[in-house]
Amino acid sequence: MAIIGIDLGTTNTLACVFRKGQAELIPNELGVYKTSSAVSVLEDGAVLVGAAARERLITHPERTAASFKRHMGTGRVLSLGERRMEPEELSALVLRQIKADAERYLGERVEEAVISVPAYFNDTQRWATKLAAQLAGLRVQRLINEPSAAALCYRQQTGGGSCKLMVVDFGGGTLDVSIVECFENIIEITGIAGDVQLGGDDIDRAIVDRFCAHCQLERLDPAERATLFRQAEAAKIALTSRPAAMLALQSGGQSHSLVLTRPLLREICAPVFQRVRAVLRRAVQEDAGGIDDVVLVGGSSHMPVFSDFLEELLGRRPTLAARPDEIVALGVGLCAGIKERREELRELVMTDVCPFSLGVATWNDVRDQNPHMAVLIPRGTMLPASHSGSFRTLHDNQRALRFQIYQGEGYYVSENLELGEIEVPVPPGPAGKHAAEVTFTYDIDGLLHVEVCGSGGDRRERLLLNDKLQLDEEELAQAVARLEEVRLAARGTGEDRLLVERAAALFAQAPARWRDEIAAALNGYRMLLDDGDLIALEKARREMRARLDSWEAAIFADPWEEETDV
């Protein structure tokens, strides 16, 4: 049984397997590698995952969710029509689709996976990812940091030699920066920094805000907002290969438009880039002496304004990795191969570090109001790591020692993320007589395990942090059963579904003069789908694809295309 590697992205999810001596991406039902991380609930209650669901952001925004990776581990509940789902469940549905596609492609059952997470994911977000996989019926063999996976693949692509790299992964929802040292077959991650709420989505939002300010639009309905977001993203992507693009929206009976140029995009991106700068500064402070190359991966790193910005900041031109959108997935595939102990990868060794410091709250004395962090595992410690600390009672006859566990870099615990707390009883006695020992173990996946031992010696307790995210067997079985009731939309119809949703979304966005034509084509196509003559359907499918392509090209035409092609 194969172990598959999964890059569970904010925007796109990809799967990869190690076969015939190399990492091989797994195409989905539509024959493409990227599956949109989008979920939509159909009117009959079935759930649609992928590109067709993404189209429904435009036509059914209230039944559709995307970018939910941003909310992993927050406990936030999202409403999709009559269903209410947590981000872990939505991610589980994406993973279930990926699992099904992989099983079909490989012709065998898939139950084990290596999954990548942003290096800067905290403990809660990592547990949430692990839970999502379990809900999808996958055992997680390893969580690997996304930039580490990218580094692993980059290393394979570029061949041996020793070097020091800065890998910058700028995707849809997260920015991750890692410092990587390569020596022979050893890949060592020596520093990481990041921001898990910063990516292409924020650039799209900034463009939308600028559009609204420019056109003095104060209120947009959900469908108009979704349309505008789509246009903002399309214009941003167009600017990667052209100097200008146009956004246009019909709202309140009026047409509004904005011309986006590279200088304007750069201006709009300024606040986002300020935050990128803060992350890079942290990475450089960690350890950046003697960097040989800055390697860019992730969808947003295609943007020329981004490379220009980095070049100005770092004083060197960064290198856009080959296959920047797939490199993380390919790296996760290699990692899956390492897990399977494949001969070809036997010599490859990779070490990683923890992104945050971990500690417990401590008080200097009884009058101390504001506890600070006693750090047990400092950030940047190589994984796996296990450190202990001993803490004494503060009061006479104190009956128990309570440990509050935090993750973060603030001096005061109030500035850090609380992960949980645990108490152990101690025998009565004067202040300071009794103590308890607490042991933190950070495993290879960056997940924390905690153990405490009171000075009685016999009481040892293991703490489950994030207990909402760590289910015992019975709870897990219930959660899986609950999710299994959710029916994935009928398979084998993926492309038809996508064509229908694309046409519907296009209809919603198109100026009035196009609509009749689109509606006629959509109706005709839907009738054929019900009819089921296979040959006619295949012909219609091809035709519909071509018509949609040409409508999209015409409707979102770039007024400068002619000039800029010269």
Contact residues toward ligand ADP (CB under 6 A) are 9-12, 171-174, 199-201, 233, 236-237, 240, 298-300, 302-303, 325
Give the Cα separation of 328 and 431 in Å (integer). 53
Element (H, E) at 326: none
Residue the block writes with tokens 């880039």: 273
Nearest distance in Å: CB 81, ligand ADP? 24
290 Cβ contact partners less than 8 Å away, ≥ 6 residues apart:
164
What number of helices (H) and strands (E) belong to the chain?
14, 27
210 binds, among Mg ion, ligand ADP, none (CB under 5 to 8 A by kind): none
Best CA proximity match to 501, nearest among 54, 93, 98: 54
Nearest distance in Å: CB 546, ligand ADP? 23
Binding segment (CB under 5 A) for Mg ion, from list 6-14, 18-26, 350-358, 459-467: 6-14
Nearest distance in Å: CB 179, Mg ion? 19
Nearest distance in Å: CB 157, ligand ADP? 17
The 8-class DSSP code of residue 302 comes to G
302 binds, among Mg ion, ligand ADP, none (CB under 5 to 8 A by kind): ligand ADP
416 binds, among Mg ion, ligand ADP, none (CB under 5 to 8 A by kind): none
455 binds, among Mg ion, ligand ADP, none (CB under 5 to 8 A by kind): none
Map residue 1 onto helix, strand or coil.
coil
The 8-class DSSP code of residue 298 comes to S
Nearest distance in Å: CB 138, ligand ADP? 19
- Give the distance, in angstroms, between the CA of residue 476 and the centroid of all CA atoms in the same chain: 23
Best CA proximity match to 114, nearest among 90, 98, 97, 93: 98
Nearest distance in Å: CB 7, ligand ADP? 7
| Closest CB to Mg ion among residues 328, 499 | 328
* Burial (0-12, 13-18, 19+ Cβ within 10 Å), 371: middle
| Closest CB to ligand ADP among residues 10, 393 | 10
Nearest distance in Å: CB 69, ligand ADP? 7
Q: Could you say whether residue 9 binds Mg ion (CB under 5 A)? A: yes
Element (H, E) at 245: strand 244-251
* Burial (0-12, 13-18, 19+ Cβ within 10 Å), 253: exposed
Q: Which of 73, 171, 333, 389 binds Mg ion (CB under 5 A)?
A: 171
- Subset of 493-512 contacting Mg ion (CB under 5 A): none
12 binds, among Mg ion, ligand ADP, none (CB under 5 to 8 A by kind): ligand ADP
Provide Rg for the chain, Cα atoms.
26
AA identity, residue 178: S
| Closest CB to ligand ADP among residues 147, 173 | 173
| Closest CB to Mg ion among residues 64, 174 | 174
355 binds, among ligand ADP, Mg ion, none (CB under 5 to 8 A by kind): none
Best CA proximity match to 505, nearest among 186, 203, 205, 230: 230
Binding segment (CB under 5 A) for Mg ion, from list 168-176, 190-198, 283-291, 463-471: 168-176
Six-digit token string for 144 = 């690997």
Question: Which residue has the CB atom at the shortest distance from ligand ADP?
Answer: 200
Question: Which residue has the CB atom at the shortest distance from Mg ion?
Answer: 171
Q: Which residues bind Mg ion (CB under 5 A)?
A: 9, 171
